[in-house]
Amino acid sequence: NAVAEILFGKINPSGRLPIVFPRTEDQLFKFENKELKVKYDHYHGYRWFDDKGLEPLFPFGFGLSYTTFSLSNATLVNNLRPGNPNFQVTFDLQNTGTVAGAEVAQVYLGLPASTGEPPRRLVGWQKVFLQPGALQHITVRVDQNDSSHPMGYWDVGSNSWQTAPGDYTVYLGNSSAMASLTVAGTLHVGP
């Protein structure tokens, strides 16, 4: 019964992919272990795909639904200061379809080029269930001191996490695909 309810739209599972599906086998990193005489296809995540400029078949965070959603009025609130090292992305999320369902709004951050990091990384998200036509004002908060180091990069010279000075671009969307992302604003760190 559960599968039939999903297939016929009685239930809207609203799931999201936690991985990237490559478009072709050529998008996999290939290497050969000459001692074992075995060839391996090595899988990489969404940040590697972004860094290499590859468009996967299904990006990280992608999901199908029996309804549609719109993200609008994205605003960046910068609270990056001593004692309150965070920023928020606020926006309106609306179910524009005819079926109830959930959307996972995702916030990505682009670090300054000087860090050598891939173009964007996931730093926050919010899953919201909405009835058809319903609109909700959402806030996703990102804390610079979180254990995931959302604004940091690993500095091998100092053997520690660092935050580089420069501009950080904040994106909002529903997957890691650049086509789904809009710029919510820019943060400036440092002098």
Report the alpha-carbon distance of residue 68 to residue 105 in Å, rounded. Answer: 13
Residue 77 has pLDDT above 60, yes or no: yes
With bands split at pLDDT 50, 70 and 90, how would you rate the model's confidence at 70? very high
Which residues are within 8 A (CB) of 83 and not within 5 positions of it... i.e. 6 or more apart?
A: none
Report the percentage of the chain scoring pLDDT > 70. 92
Place of tokens 């935050």: 163
Any bridge partners for residue 125, and if so which?
106
How far from 68 is each of 89, 107, 116, CA to CA, in Å? Answer: 21, 19, 36
In this structure, the number of other CB atoms found within 10 A of the CB of residue 76 comes to: 18
Residue 122 has pLDDT above 90, yes or no: yes
Residue 136's pLDDT is: 98
With bands split at pLDDT 50, 70 and 90, how would you rate the model's confidence at 30? low
With bands split at pLDDT 50, 70 and 90, how would you rate the model's confidence at 85? confident
User: What's this model's pTM, rounded to 2 decimal places?
Assistant: 0.88
Report the side by side order of strands in the sheet with 135-143: 69-81, 84-95, 135-143
**Average pLDDT of the chain, as a whole number:** 89
Tell me the CB-side half-sphere exposure of residue 119, using CA atoms within 13 A.
13
Residue 37's pLDDT is: 55
